Structure 1
Amino acid sequence: MEDNGLQIEILKKSYTEVNFIVRGISPRLMNSLRRAMMAEVPVMAIDDVYIIENTSVMYDEVLAHRLGLIPLKTDLDRYVLPEECGCGTETGCSRCSAVLVLDAEGKGNGITTVYSGDLKPHEANPEIKPVSDKIPIVKLAPGQRVRLEAYARLGKATKHAKWSPVVRCTYKYYPVISVMDSKCTGCGSCIDVCHKNVFTLKGGKAYVSDPLKCDLCNECVDKCAQNALNVDFDKNSLIFFLETTGSIPAWRVLSEACKILRMKGETFLRQLSELGVV
């Protein structure tokens, strides 16, 4: 995709991951987008827990904290942020809050592990549930029991990290690697030292087989006795890596972050206009 000098090439796209190359952009702008994805795109997380019964060895506060860190499936089109909802109730309403219930008891003669899959959504909000059902919450001995109600709300990671939709959100410069055939003897030292497997031998010479894996450490350059390698980067081309918790699709995180940046820019221009600056 290309627009006014900006070029984007998708390397990988799935529900939880988007990797792409973007050319014609400054790292400063890309970092603004990265920070918006990390901290300003809202997702659901458990915010209030009402403990009905807890006879486990885990304190109520620790149990509530662990529940808050479980990633939840999020519907951004149905729910709004609590501050944007006019219900004014402590536990929220169907527009700003979702309810999940946990009722687990230790059975048999051994230890029972309670997983996130045991945290069931209320029938009023079946779509709000843990991303994974294999996250351990607490272990119960025979006869021990945990009963609780948990209230999830939309939030942003600017308030707490549990509301961050991403687990990996980073970029690096686009590597530019060249091999001078006139100097290369095919000794293979660059292959031995490269932990990213960027090089192979081809025709008795070092060959750059996968430049995108390069992390610009320059180990290959330092180990090349013939000075046949040059590793540089394109300062206007970046490789971006985005991986989400699974709460919302990776492409949705990216698009929402773009909307947030655009809205901030429009607000800034409007206020400058009101002040007579522009």
Structure 2
Amino acid sequence: MALLNEKPRVFLEEFRVKNAPNDYGMADEKWNFKKFAKNFRIVIVRMDNFEMEFDLIGIQPAFANAFRRLMLSEVPSMAIEKVMIRNNTSIIQDEVLAHRLGLIPLRADPRLFEYRPEGATDGTEFNTLEFALKVKCSMNKSQPKDSFRAEDLYENHSVYSSQIKWQPIGNQASVHKEADIGPVHADILVSKMRPGHELDLTLVAVKGIGRDHAKFSPVATASYRLLPEVTLTREVRGSEASLLQSCFAPGVIGLDSEGRAYVRDARYDTCSRNVFRYDEIKDAVILSRVRDHFIFSVESTGAMHPSVIFVEAVKVLRDKCKSFLDELNKFN
């Protein structure tokens, strides 16, 4: 049990959550940079173009929560801000249509653009992207005689994000590739139409942050949780082992060839504490969470790679710290 007490932990009992003995919380610990640099680690568990799971180890909750909040509300992205409607004869009201278009994630690197100055009425090639959406629904002249499906009867009866076309401003066409600008997903449904309905729109996208509007947030979600730990205090086998296995999420508890239970991977435990419902096995486990080991899950909307989003959040925090120190130095 000596090994169990090396890390700061929160223990999950049947009716309460408590800290380890002689552990009064990380907030009371004196900050030591050398100790932090020695213990801090980042471990990437999985990563693709849209999702990333990584561990922040040896860090205080305030920093972990700061990174989460920065990714949600301070890292910028490009989003449709204004919609100029020349014609909208669809059944969707103008303001609802504009709102739907604003929430479509755009593939455009915000680091290559500037913020539009407050009060500016016209955009430039350095701070604005323009798109056009011009679609008209009509009858399909070659429709099958015995079909009643909208796909066969009408042309352009569904308006998708793939029909939003980029209109380069100034020298943008030579700076940005057409494949790098536009909606992230081509199959987002914008509107349903019938013959006689028409959309003729100009869309203006600018750089912004999620603190101003959720459409500018580069992540669909960013969350973290403490690393779970499951420790068996005695041997559990047979029917008790099967019962113990059923109390945890799949993959947490395994059974060996002799029917004995063992901890396969506590990382995926949801900390439901179902094991405390059964008197015969509730004394066989100790449930805890490591207080300085955070499992982060970041899901990008597609504008930026999730790893880039986290790095940008770190840069934002760095700049905020510099600004704070500069303000303090003014009083010296």
In the superposition, the TM-score normalised over structure 1's length comes to 0.92
Instruction: Report the counterpart of residue 206 of structure 1 in structure 2.
Output: 261
Structure 1: which 4+ aligned runs deviate by more than 4 Å?
A: 183-186
Name stretches of at least 5 consecutive residues in structure 1 with no aligned partner. Answer: none
Matched, 1:191 2:222: no
Q: 1:12 to 1:183 in 2, by over 3 A?
A: closer
Residue 242 (structure 1) aligned to one of 298, 312, 332: 298
Residue 103 (structure 1) aligned to one of 126, 129, 134: 134
Map 1:82-101 onto structure 2 (within 5 A).
Answer: 82-83=116-117, 89-101=120-132
Deviation, structure 1 residue 186 = 5.0
Measure, in 2, the Cα distance between the counterparts of 1:145 and 1:14: 38
Instruction: Report the counterpart of residue 129 of structure 1 in structure 2.
Output: 182
Measure, in 2, the Cα distance between the counterparts of 1:4 and 1:80: 38
Instruction: Report the counterpart of residue 92 of structure 2 in structure 1.
Output: 58
Matched, 1:150 2:203: yes
- Larger Rg, first or second structure (1 or 2): 2
Measure, in 1, the Cα distance between the counterparts of 2:106 and 2:269: 34
Instruction: Report the counterpart of residue 169 of structure 1 in structure 2.
Output: 222
CA distances 1:14-64 after superposition (whole Å, capped 9, x unpaired) = 121221112110111100011000000000100000001111111111111
- Residue identity opposite 1:112 in structure 2: H
Residue 117 (structure 1) aligned to one of 162, 170, 174: 162
Map 1:10-25 onto structure 2 (within 5 A).
Answer: 10-25=44-59
Measure, in 2, the Cα distance between the counterparts of 1:185 and 1:83: 70
Residues 190 and 223 in structure 1, CA contact (< 8 A), matched pair in contact too: no
Measure, in 1, the Cα distance between the counterparts of 2:248 and 2:193: 48
Residues 91 and 151 in structure 1, CA contact (< 8 A), matched pair in contact too: no
Measure, in 2, the Cα distance between the counterparts of 1:15 and 1:129: 16
Measure, in 2, the Cα distance between the counterparts of 1:76 and 1:272: 31
Residues 249 and 268 in structure 2, CA contact (< 8 A), matched pair in contact too: no
Residues 190 and 221 in structure 1, CA contact (< 8 A), matched pair in contact too: no
Instruction: Report the counterpart of residue 254 of structure 1 in structure 2.
Output: 310
Deviation, structure 1 residue 184 = 5.4
CA distances 1:191-224 after superposition (whole Å, capped 9, x unpaired) = 2232444212123222222211112222234436
- Residue identity opposite 1:134 in structure 2: D
In the superposition, the TM-score normalised over structure 2's length comes to 0.77
- Residue identity opposite 2:51 in structure 1: E
Aligned sequence identity (%) = 31
What RMSD in Å do the two structures reach over aligned CA positions?
A: 1.9
Residue 26 (structure 1) aligned to one of 60, 67, 87: 60
Deviation, structure 1 residue 182 = 3.5
Q: 1:184 to 1:273 in 2, by over 3 A?
A: farther
Number of aligned positions between the proteins: 272
SS in 1 for 2:182: coil
Measure, in 2, the Cα distance between the counterparts of 1:52 and 1:159: 27
Residues 232 and 262 in structure 2, CA contact (< 8 A), matched pair in contact too: yes
Name stretches of at least 5 consecutive residues in structure 2 with no aligned partner. Answer: 1-35, 140-152, 173-177
